Amino acid sequence: MSSKSFGRVIAVTLVAVAALVGGLVGSRAFNRKTGPAAIVEDAYTEALSSVSANYVDEIDYDKAGEAAIQGMLSTLDPHSNFFSKNEYAKLLQDQESRFTGIGVSILRHRDGVYVQSPVEGTPAARAGLRFGDRIVEVDGKDAREWTTPEVSKAVRGPEGARVTIKIERAGANAPLYFTLVRGNVPQPSIRSFFMLRPGVGYVGLSGGFTQTTADELSEAMGRLQKEGMRQLVLDLRNNPGGLLTQAIKVSSQFVERGKMIVSVRGRDPESVAEYKNNIGEPVDYPLVVLINRNTASASEIVAGAIQDHARGLVVGETSFGKGLVQKVFNLPFGAGLTLTTAHYYTPYGRLIQRAYSSGSFYEYYTRHLEDEPRPAQPGAPTHAEPPNVAAPDAVQTPQPTPRATPTGPAIKTAGGRVYYGGGGITPDYEVKPLDVATPARARIFEASFYFVRQLAGGQIAGLENYRLADATQFGRYPRPADLPVTDRLIEAFRDFVKRDTADGLGPAQVDSDLDYVKTRLRDDLVTAAYGTDAGARFLLESDPQLLRAIEVLPESKTLAANVSKGLALN
């Protein structure tokens, strides 16, 4: 990009942020000749001219320009950002329900990036990539030291373009080469849905809010209703958010017609926009919503609307607290930026956004993400007190008030329940996930992967019957008798960790946490045989937050019934 071209990008960007530095509100005009933004623009132009004319070396205007724009935006808030041409294209693609690539789930382990599972119906699945395949080359380039994002970037590309991957597979005498034609890879918002038990359905809405989210939810619930669903657990954990329009449509499938879903407020008091359910009649069965510290933005809008209207109970951990509204601006040369223009508020007026003015942006992002990255892990049954389930006509009061000192004002919601604004959605029942961040369990996680990789490849003596078919068997879920974790298998795992000392795991550590070892081995076996969806479903069977959600479904039913009758929950 030339200095003149970059200067035009800066000029457009400065106009875009004039609302924040020069007082542009609503339809009021901004005088670029006399306003503060004009001063900034003139100063920048002079600085750029001086640098261009006098700097000792060649100037990378692309790099300098991106840094200048991002530096300006970083003084505003954590979510106003500049995107280069390639980054902007990916941002727009992320709002769709698919991308172009080969369709494979990968994870970095100690000595490289490995395949966890191909995605059903994709080039990787058709080619026969499978659990435990180590990616060592991509198009002739050594990938053994690459990170997961580096491998992901290398295998993505234009639809119809070819990519050649060299892999090492347990049980194969020589490396294998796969040449795949990149194609459309589905990226659904709902990664799984099924019946947890008779009458209780589960929908895992973890893939963000894209253009198809509401339709996906309608289809999933329709299919579960045909299977006898009368109660629902909606899982919004790890959902990073997305399109506001889809959050409104999703909420409208549960919140009464005509009721408020969310309001948006900018700098101008007259800029308030209110969004209600104007779509249709919602479903009325008992509902529990699962959230955690990575539940953010659009998913918080859904959880907040359901909680404010007492439509259901919320279980898990306090959500991330991302309540800033971004507008996307197109810039010249394919670049773009997202600029915060307003705040989200729940139906009764709770501010979702948590504070970011004190401390660094790093602390802002890592406060709720301090345990990331971590693989999805199972839990154990919770030891929390059982819910207070009274007769259907009784008045009950769930305990929504957070244990910590509130940071925002008290807000009285439907039925007189009190919550606090100031950041995130506080669950009605707080339930912590199983702690998997201990060094011992991290070692178990790694050792289990390498053991099952060999087991699935028929490389563990005496357990050749665990050798899996070359192709992942999608659409199946194992019966209890399938792929059992037997005493003989555990003994083989003990022998394996004696030989494979790279992870620092010993037999004594295996025996001290045997239940967790069995769960890890079973999850890896199920994933290897049937794919990541089946593995995730297995882990949910012992998830403490999900188990608690099932326990409080009767209370959720009573809560909604009492509020619909106008009963105060004091």
Catalytic residue numbers, as ranges: 297, 308, 322
- Let me know: does 402 contact 115? Beta carbons within 8 Å: no
Reading the block at residue 170, the tokens are 């347990």
- Let me know: does 429 contact 307? Beta carbons within 8 Å: no
- Let me know: does 474 contact 531? Beta carbons within 8 Å: yes
Task: Work out the angle between the directed axes of helices 532-540 and 514-530 (0-180°, nearest 10).
Answer: 150
Neighbours of 445 (CB within 10 A): 20
> Which has the closest alpha carbon to 235: 196, 203, 200, 195?
203
Peptide bond into 392 cis (omega under 30): no
Helix (H) or strand (E) holding 58: none
DSSP helix/strand/coil, 55: coil
d(CA 390, CA 212): 39
d(CA 175, CA 166): 7
Buried b (16+ CB within 10 A) or exposed e, 525-553: bbbbbbbbbbbbbbbbebbbbbbbbbbbb
- What is the torsional sign of CA 534, 535, 539, 540? negative
Q: How many CA atoms lie within 13 A of 45 on its CB side?
A: 14
> Which has the closest alpha carbon to 40: 5, 62, 75, 15?
15
Q: How many CA atoms lie within 13 A of 334 on its CB side?
A: 10
d(CA 545, CA 235): 10
Neighbours of 60 (CB within 10 A): 11
Specify the length of the chain in residues. Answer: 570
Largest separation between any pair of C-alpha atoms in the chain: 82
Q: What are the distances in angstroms from CA 161 to CA 129, 137, 510? A: 18, 17, 46
d(CA 489, CA 51): 67
d(CA 257, CA 47): 56
Give the bridge partners for 165, in sequence order. 138, 178
d(CA 362, CA 372): 13
Reading the block at residue 370, the tokens are 């301090």
As to burial, measured by CB atoms within 10 angstroms (0-12 exposed, 13-18 middle, 19+ buried), residue 189 is buried
Q: DSSP letter at 81?
A: E
Give the bridge partners for 105, in sequence order. 117
d(CA 321, CA 534): 31
